[in-house]
Amino acid sequence: MTSPLHRAVDGGIELRVHAQPGAGRSAVVGRHGDALKVKVAAPPQDGRANAALVGVLAEAFGVKPAQVALVSGEASRSKRFRIEGIDDEAAAAVLDRLLAGVPRPGREHVDRTRGRA
């Protein structure tokens, strides 16, 4: 059940993340190619954005922050995180839930009462 966003590893999953630090709020906002796009309010200084990403991912996947570790991409927007204590199927279900409420590109919400987005 591995998806383009994640793969199963011993004891958990490895997740591809596209980070956007310095955003107005911290949240999972959709996909960016083969990665989960996550915005964090923390700036990319002194590891603060990476720490914020750990917190967002831990909350989203229902694990403790200690179970989320940055594997690669410390100074890059493209990152890989290892999340322990979650199996492949559970991860796929979480990703489906996270992405279900996110409109696909080009499918922005249209306010039908005013005829504009």
List pLDDT tens digits, range 30-68: 999 999 999 999 999 999 999 999 999 999 999 999 999
Mean pLDDT of 82-100: 93
At residue 101's C-alpha, the angle toward residues 54 and 98, to 5°, is 30
Contact between 35 and 16 (Cβ < 8 Å): yes
Residue 81, pLDDT > 70, answer yes
Non-local CB neighbours of 93 within 8 Å, separated by 6+ positions? none
pLDDT digits (tens, 9 = 90+) for 99-116: 886 554 444 444 444 444
Distance, in Å, from the CA atom of 40 to the CA atom of 56, rounded to the nearest integer, reads: 8
Pair of tokens at residue 114: 């005013």
The one-character DSSP state at 28 is E
**Tens digit of each residue's pLDDT (9 = 90 or more) over 17-27:** 999 999 999 99
Q: What pLDDT is attached to residue 2? A: 60
Residue 101: in which H helix or E strand, if any? none
Q: Average pLDDT over the chain, rounded to whole? A: 87
Closest CA to 51 of 19, 29, 86: 19
Q: Which domains does the chain have, with CATH numbers?
A: 6-100 (3.30.1200.10)
Of 25, 33, 27, which Cα lies nearest the Cα of 4?
33
Average pLDDT, stretch 68-83? 97
pTM over 0.85: no
User: Are the CB atoms for 86 and 14 separated by under 8 Å?
Assistant: no
How far apart (Å, rounded) are the C-alpha atoms in residues 33 and 5? 9
